[in-house]
Amino acid sequence: MCIICKGGNLKGIKDLDCSYCPYLTNIPVIKGLQILDCCHCPSLTNIPVIKGLQVIKCCHCPLLTNIPVIKGLDSLFCSSCPLLTNIPAIKGLQIYSSYCPLLINIPVIKGLQVNCYNCTWLNIDNPNFNNNVNKLIVLQRLFKKILLSKKLKKLIPQLMQIYYHPDAKGGYLDKRNLCEFIEKINFLSEPRVCD
Ligand SMILES: [Zn+2]
């Protein structure tokens, strides 16, 4: 259990290590904190905006979805965060992110340094990037077809009514077939001379 969960005194602390704590869900705003290490915290969902914070180490946090915009943040270590989708645009930030499967966006900002590899959807040191994108395209096309066929199936009952309306083409063809059928019956039932 970490110092936060124990209810310890956090006043004046500059370097906080609360890593490997299974109970930690939230980090309080700690005035003057410069370095935060909260790696391997399986219940952590959120990192607050802490003014003056310079380093965040939050690797292997499976529930972490977001990194806040903290002006002046210098280094961010966020490898193996499976739900992380975005990294904030902070000038001069050094990012160390690897194995983040949902990370799709790294901001284009002057002075940003990105050290990352094997993030599924980033084209940075990722030998599988093209392969991943090609697979995604195939899947997207497949799902597009499935969705379209579902839409059409829903529409069919309405289209049937429109098509077979007496004034529409289907209705006209149906009426014509019916007339032809009746004419045939009349012809067959007419008395014949030979009989
Ligand atoms: Zn804790």
| 146-163: average pLDDT | 88
Q: Which domain holds residue 102?
A: 1-126
pLDDT by residue (tens digit) across 33-56?
999 999 999 999 999 999 999 999
- Taking the centre of ligand 1 as the mean of its atom positions, its distance from the CA of residue 73, in whole angstroms, is 23
Cα–Cα distance measured from residue 99 to residue 119, given in angstroms and rounded to the nearest whole number: 5
Same structural domain, 144 and 63: no
Is the pLDDT reported for residue 62 higher than 90? Answer: yes
Q: What is the DSSP pairing of strand 75-77 with strand 55-57?
A: parallel
Kindly list the protein residues that place their beta carbon closer than 5 angstroms to ligand 1, a single-atom ion: 2, 5, 21, 23-24
List pLDDT tens digits, range 82-139: 999 888 888 888 989 888 888 887 777 777 778 877 888 887 777 888 888 889 899 9
Strands 113-115 and 94-96: parallel
> Is residue 194 situated within a structural domain?
no
Distance 63 CA to ligand 1 centre (A): 15
Residues 1, 49, single domain; the answer is: yes
Q: Within this chain, do residues 101 and 160 fall inside the same structural domain, yes or no?
A: no
Please check whether residues 20 and 105 belong to one and the same domain: yes
Q: How many domains does the chain have?
A: 2
Q: What is the whole-number distance in angstroms between the Cα of residue 67 and the centre of ligand 1?
A: 19
Say if 195 falls within a structural domain: no
Does 43 lie in the same domain as 5? Answer: yes
